[in-house]
Structure 1
Amino acid sequence: MIGPSPDLNEWKIAAVGYPLWLWTDGTTNPAPVTDSVYDISVGLDAHLVKVVFDMGDGHKVACTDVSREWTADVAAGAESPSCGYRYPKPSLPRGSYTVTANAVWAIDWNVNGTTGTIPFYQSATTKIPVGELQVLVR
């Protein structure tokens, strides 16, 4: 997720240089799962390692804490305390930047005392128009 959303301003864009907050929806640390069948005991415990945001402009942001989401209560222009980005250049008039969030998970497993870790990857994309705002002083 990206906030503040461009839909909240009259221009419907994210502004160059304005701090954006990056976060994920959903749980990043689900409860462990165990089960037994006959004499086989299996346990799984997944946790989010990091999220790498490909910002669509050639820059990437890697974050290990993606739990702090932007809300309307956040002061205007406030930096994210955990994961954020400022676009240095506009995407407009050519279009929008495609932002891809690549989540890296580690799934720890245990089968009758034998253990290991399985990496798991998830991706999601969104588009964000980024433009420049200028002020004319007379």
Structure 2
Amino acid sequence: MLTYAGITLAAAVAVPLAVPTQALAGPWDGGSCGSTGKWVVCNADDNTTAPGSGAHHSDSASGHTSKPVCTVKKMEPQPPPDSMFWEGKSSKDGAVYQRTCQNGPGGAPIIDTFVADTPPGAAPVDPAVVAQQAVAKMKLAGPEIASPRAAGTYIVGVPMWMWVNKGPTTYGPNSASATAGGVTVTATAKVTKIVWRMGDGATVTCNGPGTAYTASYGKQESPTCGHVYARTSAANKGGKYAVAATSTWAVDWQVNGGGVNGQFTETRQSQTQVGIGELQVVR
């Protein structure tokens, strides 16, 4: 940490304030900080003095120390890599911040700098939250239902084949990255199962997109995802069953350049309607 006593230094040696006058042990750790835009405003505890003057109880007549009001701001632009402000560190360790406290010796502002991976008063970045932001960029949607078709005609007792079209936003895999507070997380999402609610009270869970039907299968049941209706949909609203397909997305995420990782799930739903009739026998 580099510290400057602004007015006193300028009067004594007539050099710019950017010349260091004293090194402190570490960043400000007394009082409380709150964010106000790009700045963080800090108020010291009653027994905390301004950086550079030492932490001790005041011996002043009032019986307590005044609370120095400090502001902290990330230096923009950041110093070059060989600058003394990095104190032997680099941008991999975070960023250089400048703190100004208003009640230095003789009323002069005290300015100091330090390197930190997050600004004082800022809450630690939760990489799982950043992963959620990455998922939001993917625009994940419900399954793209290929069968059953809303315009199709299906028969009681005849096996129905259900399947979906695979796309990056409807089935995956899909990847995106997001950054917050210097933490970059890359997330990858893909569908692991689709639960079909068939409208007749039945639920079918398919661990894949399903198998597309071709005429060569005849009246076989689907080997991966199918259902057989036992009654017509004539008594239902509009004469059709309301079908809902809910996909479960498994999201794996990892912090770039670090060993922190995790997983969570998301769900998306699509709906369609299907008409089920009876085969009429003409005698």
Name the structure 1 match of 2:270: 124
Pair 1:89-2:231 in alignment:
yes
Measured after TM superposition, the shift of residue 41 of structure 1 is 3.8
Q: Contact 2:248/2:266 (CA < 8 Å) preserved in 1?
A: yes
Pair 1:19-2:159 in alignment:
yes
Select which of 111, 114, 127 maps to 2:260: 114
Q: Give the strand-richer structure, 1 or 2.
A: 1
Percent sequence identity over aligned pairs: 32
Name the structure 1 match of 2:117: none
Name the structure 1 match of 2:219: 77
TM-score, normalised via structure 2 length: 0.41
Tell me how many residue pairs correspond in the alignment.
132
Pair 1:101-2:245 in alignment:
yes
**Whole-angstrom CA distance in 1 between matches of 2:179 and 2:275:** 50
Q: What secondary structure does 1:129 align onto?
A: strand
Of the two structures, which has the highest relative contact order with CA contacts closer than 8 Å and spacing of 6 or more? 1
| Bigger mean CA offset, 53-62 vs 33-42 | 33-42
Measured after TM superposition, the shift of residue 34 of structure 1 is 5.2
Q: Contact 1:103/1:121 (CA < 8 Å) preserved in 2?
A: yes
Measured after TM superposition, the shift of residue 89 of structure 1 is 1.1
Q: What secondary structure does 1:107 align onto?
A: strand
Q: Give the helix-richer structure, 1 or 2.
A: 2
Measured after TM superposition, the shift of residue 31 of structure 1 is 4.8
Q: CA 1:6–1:13 in structure 2 vs 1: closer, same or farther (change >3 Å)?
A: farther
Select which of 41, 60, 63 maps to 2:203: 60
TM-score, normalised via structure 1 length: 0.79
Q: What secondary structure does 2:193 align onto?
A: strand
5+ residue gaps, structure 2: 1-144
Q: Contact 1:14/1:131 (CA < 8 Å) preserved in 2?
A: yes
Measured after TM superposition, the shift of residue 39 of structure 1 is 5.7
**Whole-angstrom CA distance in 2 between matches of 1:109 and 1:85:** 35
| Bigger mean CA offset, 125-134 vs 55-64 | 125-134
Q: What secondary structure does 2:165 align onto?
A: coil
Q: CA 1:85–1:39 in structure 2 vs 1: closer, same or farther (change >3 Å)?
A: same
Q: Contact 1:4/1:70 (CA < 8 Å) preserved in 2?
A: no
Q: CA 1:125–1:74 in structure 2 vs 1: closer, same or farther (change >3 Å)?
A: farther
5+ residue gaps, structure 1: none
Larger radius of gyration: 2
Measured after TM superposition, the shift of residue 5 of structure 1 is 4.5
For residues 45-92 of structure 1, what are the alpha-carbon distances to aligned partners after superposition, in whole Å with 9 as ceiling and x for unaligned? 212121000001110000002142224x44331321210111111111
